[in-house]
Amino acid sequence: MARRLLLSLALAFATTISAIAAPVDRPLIIGMRLEPPHLDPTAGAAAAIDEVLYANVFEGLTRIDAEGHVVPGLATDWEFGDDGLSLTLTLRDGVTFHDGKPFNADVAKFSLDRARAPGAENAQPQLFAAIESVAAPDPTTLVIHLSRPDADLPYSLAWGDAVMVHPDSAETNKQTPVGTGPFRFERWRRGDRIVLVRNDDYWGEAAKLPRVEFAFVGDPTVALAALMAGDINAFPSFGAPETLPVIAADPRFTVKSGTTEGETIMAINSRRPPLDQLAVRQALARAVDRQALVDGAMYGTATPIGAPMPPHDPAYIDLTGVNAYDPASAKALLAEAGVENLKLTLSLPPTSYARRSGEIIASELREVGIDVTLEPVEWAEWLSRIFRGKDYDLTIVAHTEPSDIGIYGRPDYYFHVDDPRLTEILDALDVETDPAARIELLQEAQRRIADNAVNVFLFQLPKSGVWDARLVGMWENSPIQANDVTGVYWSK
Amino acid sequence: MPRKTAVNASPIRRLLRRLLGLAATLLAASLLIFVAMSVLPGDPAEVLLGMNADPAAVDALRTEMGLDQPLPVQFARWLGGVLAGDFGESATYAVPVTDLILERAVVSVPLAILGVLLSVGIALPAGLLAAIRRDRGTDNLVTTLAQIGLSIPSVWLGLILIYLFAVVMKVVPAGGFPGWDAGVGPALSALILPAVALAAPQAAILTRITRTAIVEAMDEDYVTLARAKGRSVAGAVARHALPNALAPILTIVGLQFGYLVAGAVVIETVFSLPGVGRLLFQAVSQRDLQVVQGVVLIVVATVVVVNTLCDGLAVWSNPRQRQRQRQRQQRRRPA
C-alpha cells in the first residue's frame, strides 16, 4: 500500500514537472506558401530559401535585426579605411560549422570570392559589385578592397546571398545545408516540410526552440484550417487577408500587420509610345485610386505610396499627393496629349496582390477612357518576356529587395527610366557615406521619380503575420526576406 | 502438341501489339509535352536566379542545364537517357528526377489506389441496390445522391471535409503528410480525406453506370429464364446479371483511373500532399522540363497499363466474350 502511494506520488510529481517543462520545449511549426527550390541562399533568387535558412542555419559577417539595423554577425566590428576604399572586419573566434569545421578569415574570403566570381550562380551580384579583392591577413581579420567607395557594404554583407559557407560543404549546401547558425538542418521531405533542430554547439546564445519545422501550404483556405486545427503554429506572412478579422477575433492567435521592403508598383513601359509622354504617365497615375486598392485588394492592410521608398525608412517622404487620384485631370491630360482610344495590356503575375489590384485598376483606367486588357502571366513568363524581354505595356509587381531605389538609375531596366540627373543622384548615393547627405540624395531621387511619373506607385506590401498567442519573439516587420526564429520561444 | 501453341501464340502476339502501342503512346506524349514546354516563355535558369541576376550567370546556368543546345538535340539526349534508364536531373531541385518521382509516388500511388477502392466500394453496392429496387425509394435516393456527388467540385468538397474533420472534429490533420515512417495509421489518416474528395465524383459516375448496366442485364431473357427457373432476385443478379454487367463497369474504372491521376494535381494542392501531381504543377511553373517529362511519361504509362488491364479483365469477366474467344481460338487451330 505504502509502495503504491509512493509510486502514485512520484508519478504525480513527474507529470507536474513535465506539465511545466514540456510546453516551453515544444517545437515550432511555421507555415509557408512556397517551397524553396533548394537550400543554398547564395545560389538562387527564391525568397523561400532565405525564409527558411537565413540567420537560423546560415549566418553572414553582418546581419539585419528585427528593426532593420545592421548588427554584428560573424564579424564583431568593422571599419572603413580613410579613403573609403577598404573595409576591415574583425571576425568572431571559436565559431564552427555544423560539421565541426572551423570558421576563419580564409573561409570568409572563400565565401565572398565564390559569391562574386564572374558567372557565379549568385542572384544578387550587385551587392559585390564594388569589391576588388578580399584578403585574409590573419584568422580573425578580413580586409575587403574596393574599386569605389560603397557605403552600403556592411548592409550588403548582411543579405542571405552573402552568408558564410565552408569550402568543403559549399557544393552540397543545396541539398544538405551546413552553416554556423543556432539551428542545424535535419531533413527535407520535399513537397511537405523542412526540419531544423537546435545546434547545441552554437557559438552564441543557444536557440530556445528545440526544433523548427517549415511546412508548405499552398492554399490560403487550407492554411486557415491548419492554423485553426493547431497543425501549424505560425504563418509569418499569411496569404488570405480577408480572413484576418476572423483570426484576430480568436484569443488563441496574434495577428500583426507589419511592414516589408516591398514597394508595389504598376510598372510602365515608357519606351512604348504614347507611354513615353510624361502627360500620359501622369494620367495613368491620377486615374488610380490608391486607397480603393488598399481597401479593395488588400483589405485595408497596406499603406499607399507615391515613390519607391518604404514609409518606415528614415529618408521617406510622402509623395502620394504628387499624382493624387483625380480622374478629371487624368482625362484632361490625355486630351491635352492628343491621345485617344488608348488600348493597353496590363500583365499580372500570379501573386494575389497583383491579380486583385489589376482588376480594380483596369476598371479605374476604363473610367478615364483607357481600354485595358488584363493578361494573367506565370512567374516564369513574367521574368522572361516582361522583365528581361521588356515586352509589355503595364504590369503590377512588388519590388521586395531592401534599399533597391538604385534600379531607377538603370536606363536599361525593364521600365526604362531615362533621366540622366536621376542616374547621377543614385551614383552619388553609392559613394556617399555621410548619413545626412545620403538622406538628402534619397529624397531628391524620390521627388524626381514621382514628378516624372516613372511608374504608378501603389502601396507598400504589408506583412500580415498570424501566430499562436503563446509565441514570443516572432518578427512583426520584414526588413529582410527571412523568418529569423533564433529568438523565438513559447511563453507557456 | 499443336493445340497448346495455338492457344499461346495469340495472347503473346496481342501482348506485343499492346506493348508497341504503349511505346508509341509514350513517344507521342513526350514529344507533345516537349514541344509545349519549349513554346512556353521562360526557362528554369531565369526562374532560379531571378530579377537581379547577372545575364552571364544565367547563360552559364543555362549551358550547365543543357538548354543552350538546339531543341532536337535536347529531345534526343533526353530520349537517349530514358532508354538507358536515366530520367535526367531536375533543373530546380538539382537531384535525379527518378528520386523525386519515387519519393512522391509513395503518396500518390496509395492515394490513387485508395480512390479507386473507395469509388468501386461505394458505387458497386449502391448501383446494385438501386438496380434491384428499381424505381422505388431506394433507387431514387441513390440516383439523387449520385447526382449531387457528380455536381460537387472536388476542391470544394475537400475544403468542407477539412473544415469538418480537421478543424471542428480534429480527428485528422488539415492537410500535409507525415510520411510512412511515421506509421501506417498516421499516414493513412492523412490520405483518407483527399481520397474521399477524389473518389466522390468518380463514385457518383460509377454508381450510375453500374445501375444502368445491371438494369439492362436484368431485362435480358437469360435473367427472366433464371427467375422462371426459381432463382431469387439476388441469385439471378449475382449469377447472371452481374457477370454480364461487369465489362462496362471495369472499362469505366480503367478510364476513371486517368481522371484520378489528373484530379490528384488539384487535390494534392488542396491537402498540401507531397505527391506526384503537386510535383508536376510546381515543375511546370518552374519550367523544369526534365521533371515534367519524367512525370508525364510515368503517368501516361501507368494509365495505359491500367486501362489495358481493365480491358483484359472486362473480356475475361464477360461470359459471352470468353465464349467468343474460345471459338475464335478454335477456328485458328491449324487444320
Domain locations along chain A: 63-120+127-167, 181-252+463-490, 263-460
Q: Chain A contacts of B271, Cβ < 8 Å?
A: 222
Whether A190 and B103 lie within 8 Å, measured CB to CB: yes
Q: Do B57 and A125 touch (CB under 8 A)?
A: yes
pLDDT at residue A22, rounded to an integer: 46
Euclidean distance between CA atoms B297 and A199, whole angstroms: 42
Distances (CA, A) of A425 to A129, A422, A430, A441, B335: 18, 5, 9, 6, 99
CA distance B308 to chain A (A): 31
The overall longest dimension of chain A from CA atoms, in Å, is 101
Cell 506509421, residue located: B183
Chain B residues inside the 8 Å CB shell of A389: 41
Query: CA dihedral in degrees (A426, A432, A434, A438; nearest 10)?
Result: 0
pLDDT score, position A465? 93
Answer yes or no: do A126 and B269 touch at CB < 8 A. Answer: no
Fold of A63-120+127-167: Dipeptide-binding Protein; domain 1 (3.90.76)
Q: What local confidence, expressed as pLDDT, does residue B335 receive?
A: 46
**Which residue of chain A has the CA closest to B52?**
A124
Residue from the list B42, B175, B286 with its beta carbon closest to the beta carbon of A222: B175
**Angstroms from B153 CA to nearest CA on chain A:** 16
What secondary structure does DSSP assign to A269-318, as a single string? -TTSTTTTSHHHHHHHHHH--HHHHHHHHHTT-SEE-SSSS-TTSTT---
Which among B48, B52, B56 is the nearest to A37, CB-wise?
B48
Q: How confident is the model at residue B6 (pLDDT cuts 50, 70, 90)?
A: very low
d(CA B25, CA A420): 59
- B313 — pLDDT class (breaks 50, 70, 90): confident
Nearest CA to CA, how far is B260 from chain A (Å)? 20
Q: Which residue has the higher pLDDT, B329 or A239?
A: A239
Q: What is the pTM of this model?
A: 0.85
Class of domain A181-252+463-490: alpha beta
**Can you tell me the distance from the alpha carbon of A110 to that of A133, in angstroms, rounded to the nearest whole number?**
11
Q: What is the overall mean pLDDT for chain B?
A: 84
Q: Strand ranges (DSSP E) for A369-421?
A: 371-376, 394-399
In sequence order, which residues have a C-beta less than 8 Å from that of residue A459 and are 6 or more positions away?
A264, A290, A293, A294, A298, A302, A303, A304, A305
Question: Which of A45, A118, A190 is the closest to B48 by Cβ?
Answer: A45
- Confidence (pLDDT) at A8: 52
- Taking contacts as CB-CB distances below 8 angstroms, the residues of chain B near A45 are 48-53
pLDDT band at B1; cut points 50, 70, 90: very low
Instruction: Select from A121, A221, A384 the Cβ nearest to the Cβ of B42.
Output: A384
Peptide bond into B186 cis (omega under 30): no
Separation CA A57–CA A160 (nearest Å): 11
Q: Are A320 and A307 in contact (CB under 8 A)?
A: no
Give the residue from A186, A261, A383 with the most B CB atoms within 10 Å of its CB, the best one to mutate: A383
Q: Number of CB pairs < 8 Å for A and B? A: 155
* Correct CATH for A263-460 of 3.10.105.10, 3.30.70.360, 3.40.50.261, 1.20.140.10: 3.10.105.10
Beta-carbon count within 10 A of B102 CB:
12
pLDDT of residue B321: 66
Partner-chain residue, chosen from A125, A222, A350, that has the shortest CB–CB distance to B54:
A125
d(CA A491, CA A28): 12
User: In whole angstroms, what is the distance from residue B195 CA to residue B273 CA?
Assistant: 11
Tell me which of B65, B92, B271, B272 to substitute to probe the interface with A (most A C-beta atoms closer than 10 Å).
Answer: B272
The predicted pLDDT at position B237 comes to 78
Q: What is the mean pLDDT of residues B245-262?
A: 83
Rounded Cα distance between B298 and A224, Å, is 34
Nearest residue, CB atoms, A190 vs list B41, B48, B274: B274
With beta carbons under 8 A apart, name residues in chain A contacting B106: none
Q: Work out the percent of chain B whose per-residue pLDDT is above 90.
A: 15
- CA neighbor of B109 nearest in space, from B292, B243, B305: B305
Judge whether B39 is closer than 8 Å to chain A, CB to CB: no
- Local confidence pLDDT in tens for the 492 residues of chain A: 455 544 454 544 444 444 444 447 899 999 998 889 899 999 988 889 999 999 999 999 999 999 889 999 999 999 999 888 999 999 999 999 999 999 999 999 999 999 999 888 898 998 999 999 999 999 999 999 999 988 889 999 999 999 999 999 999 999 999 999 999 999 998 888 999 999 999 999 999 999 999 999 888 888 898 998 888 999 998 988 888 888 999 999 999 988 899 999 999 999 998 999 999 999 999 999 999 999 999 888 899 999 999 998 889 999 999 999 999 999 999 999 998 899 999 999 988 899 999 999 999 999 999 999 999 998 888 988 999 899 999 999 999 888 889 899 888 899 988 889 999 999 898 888 788 999 999 999 999 999 999 999 999 999 899 999 999 999 998 888 899 999 999 998
